[in-house]
Amino acid sequence: MSDTANADQIAYWNDKAGQTWASLQAELDRQLEGLGETVMEFLAPAAGERLLDIGCGSGQTTLALARRVGAEGLVLGVDISRALLAAAQRRAAEAGAARARFLEADAQAHPFDPAAFDAAFSRFGVMFFADPPAAFANIRRALKPGGRLAFVCWRTMMENPWMTVPLAAGLAHLPPPEPPTPGAPGPFAFADAGRVRGILEAAGFSQIEIRPHDAMVGGNDLESAVRTALRVGPLGMLMRDNPQARDAVEASVREAIAANMKDGQLQLASATWIVTARNG
């Protein structure tokens, strides 16, 4: 991997976080798949295109994009987590997806071949850069003139019950988390649409559109939903620091999630931005 300004994020995603997300691959994919598919509709991949999947994680989106571009196309999934990339490579091999390839790299700094891709995509993989304008400028240079960008990112945490419902239940037994620094790398770093627009403009993108998108997410059964809630996001971080509270927290979280089950699957509201832009 090339030198990078994102050392903290690289360390984080190559420690327990990456291993945790890889172990919860199926649960997280069920929760997020619909949001990724929505962004793909806006990106509109065509047969034979070359695509870049930023923050590809365990590869679900890379494989879905590869199916869309077909045998003459190519999708390069990029991530900083070795554990997630290993999971992605296993999935691609099992699926026989020869047109899906993976690269361990920091998209902010990696020297992609200039004008090598028709489009860039991301499902929640672009909110973690130390220098977002520099990162998006680097991504833009990898796109052909007129190349497309489409990604989905979270709005504010308070607009996302999929996270606040289990977190509120857990906080009955845990100290509150420290408030994040506004704009710092993290899941909600792009909650401000004006900031997102400014970042993309500074990076040289045009035809920027930022659309609010509201959808129900979940899809997991009760046990899977509880397991996931206790291990990822702010609640997961608090649990790692307060293991003595696990039994009490789990009971409260289970009760809160059970109240939001429909036909045996968790259903909670999510709030995102669907962002599209062009290179030039």
The pTM for the full model equals 0.95
- Identify the pLDDT of residue 1: 40
With a cut of 50, list the residues of the chain below it in pLDDT.
1-3
State the fold for domain 7-157+178-219+268-279. Answer: Rossmann fold (3.40.50)
Of 117, 108, 98, nearest in space to 10 by CA:
108
Give residue limits of the domains in the chain.
7-157+178-219+268-279
CA distance 65 to 99: 10
- Identify the pLDDT of residue 2: 43
Q: Count Cβ neighbours within 10 Å for each residue of 223-260 and write b for 16 or more, e otherwise.
A: ebbbbbbbbbbbbbebbeeeeebeeebbebbbebbeeb
Give the C-alpha distances (Å, rounded to integers) separating 85 from 95, 108, 242. Answer: 15, 18, 29
- Identify the pLDDT of residue 4: 59
pLDDT of 21-33, one tens digit each?
A: 999 999 999 999 9
In angstroms, how far is CA 103 from the centroid of its own chain? 16
Place of tokens 């920091």: 106
**Strand stretches in the chain, DSSP E:** 50-54, 74-79, 100-104, 117-123, 143-154, 205-218, 261-262, 265-279
φ and ψ at residue 174, rounded to 5 degrees: -130, 155
